[in-house]
Amino acid sequence: MCHGLSENAQVKAKRHNDARGASHCVWLLNVHGFVTRKKKLQEFTHKPVPSQLYRALQQAIGEAGGWLPFDRFMALALYTPGLGYYANDLVKFGAMPGSGSDFVTAPELSPWFGRALGQQVAQALQATGTQEVWEFGAGTGALAQQVLEQLAAQGLTDVRYHIVDLSGTLRARQQERLHAFAGRVDWPTALPDKLQGVLLGNEVLDAMPVQLLVRVSGVWHERGVTFVPGAVDEGCALVWQDRPTHLRPPVDVPGEHDYLTEIHPQAEAFVRTLADRWTQGAAFFVDYGFPEAEYYHPQRHMGTLMCHKAHRSDPDPLVDVGLKDITAHVNFTGVALAAQEAGLQVMGYASQGRFLLNAGLLQLAENAPLPERAQLAKLVNEHEMGELFKVLALAPMASADGWLPMGFAVGDRTHAL
Ligand SMILES: C[S@@+](CC[C@H](N)C(=O)[O-])C[C@H]1O[C@@H](n2cnc3c(N)ncnc32)[C@H](O)[C@@H]1O
């Protein structure tokens, strides 16, 4: 997702890290107990979360013995039926806070995103001899609409489009938006045993729960969530608690300095699940993130976990739970390795800007009105979405040879993964 597009992404990342650093000391309860609990309760106490979700969290923490690893907390905060952020009926997607939205994504920002991606999809369908598109995490259905319109413009009117989304409320919005394509779009509740076609996911990997690892005084801990005992009101006393762990980041992080980061077992398991069933086609995953050498750089010591609400970012997922998005950057090396180990081939890895230009964005939008061209420039400008966002393409072995996805014709960075 994209915020304050006029700001430099690196400046934002630094601000994020500063904010996290500033509040770090008040979030943390150490594993040895609540030594300072009376005196410091104020500092640890967060704003209320919606009461039903709070009760669900409290129950889950209780059932887990008093401590939930962060990935389980994140899953509940985002996907608890009817209550989690992606399961409730808040607006979420939109260009401006005035609409009640929290963030904007590329297909919401400009329809030319999905049209250019649609050209890539058309090439991939033809090259792999498939006739189906599977989109994961389709949001409002904007990308589906853009891709289907582009496919139709290229004469591909018989392609079937399947949408898989964890969110029931978003599914309803997608159905409303895509009614013009009724009969060709469906919402399967499970993957078929044999999966064929072009797979798409825009900002879906970043929405998958992550585990938090924190190195404190040279010792690795897993960061989880608990609540302050005795805090009976819903003034919500969700707090961090770290426990020593054998888990480690996938690469060594040089140095002994304190270091917070994420690992992504769910995103990697998701790719393995696809690989188990997928026989033919190509996949394009678009998201913000880095190769692992950048992800686990010693200077990125406050990780990438971030929340989004009303077009502002904040680093505290324990506040306003269920009312804001929680996300982490993608470790593209981890996803690519999981794919390779499961028998898939990496077909390309490039910045979003480079990918869209290769896919013909500028030629497609040649006659677009000036305001639309100004908007689409944000998709490719390096200081906006063009560089932080990447595209990773995968294919089953049977579909990997004899063609090059057009989006990677120039500027492929697979070697950097
Ligand atoms: C940040 S939104 C992106 C929405 C849309 N792709 C866009 O670009 O506007 C993340 C979406 O991924 C969905 N999601 C998260 N995990 C998923 C999974 N494992 N399978 C399918 N959808 C998932 C969420 O429900 C939500 O619709």
Tens of pLDDT, residue by residue over 63-83, are 999 999 999 999 999 999 999
Domain boundaries, the chain: 7-106+204-416
| 207 Cα to the center of ligand 1, angstroms | 6
127-166 tens-digit pLDDT: 999 999 999 999 999 999 999 999 999 999 999 999 999 8
Contact 199, 275 (CB under 8 A): no
Please give the distance, rounded to the nearest whole angstrom, from the Cα atom of residue 124 to the centre of ligand 1: 22
With the most atoms of ligand 1 within 8 angstroms of its CB, the residue from 93, 135, 165, 170 to mutate is 165
State the distance from the centre of ligand 1 to the C-alpha of 139, rounded, in angstroms.
6
CA of 86 to the centre of ligand 1 (A): 8
Ligand 1 pocket list (CB less than 6 A)? 1, 86, 93, 105, 107-108, 136-139, 142-143, 164-167, 170, 202-204, 207-208, 270
For the whole model, what pTM was predicted? 0.90
Biggest CA–CA distance in the chain, Å, is: 69
Tell how far the Cα of 40 is from the centroid of ligand 1, in angstroms.
38
Q: What is the pLDDT of residues 201-252, one digit of tens each?
A: 999 999 999 999 999 999 999 999 998 866 545 555 899 999 999 999 999 9
Q: What is the structure's pLDDT at 144?
A: 98
CA–CA distances in Å: residue 227 to residues 187, 209, 216, 260, 319: 38, 20, 21, 21, 13
Q: Which of 142, 166, 406, 416 is nearest to 282 (CA)?
A: 406
pLDDT tens per residue, range 16-69: 333 333 333 233 333 332 222 322 333 334 444 568 898 899 999 999 999 999
- 103 Cα nearest atom in ligand 1: 1
Ligand 1 atom having least distance to the Cα of 1: 1
CATH class of domain segment(s) 7-106+204-416: alpha beta
Cα(249) to centroid of ligand 1, in Å? 25
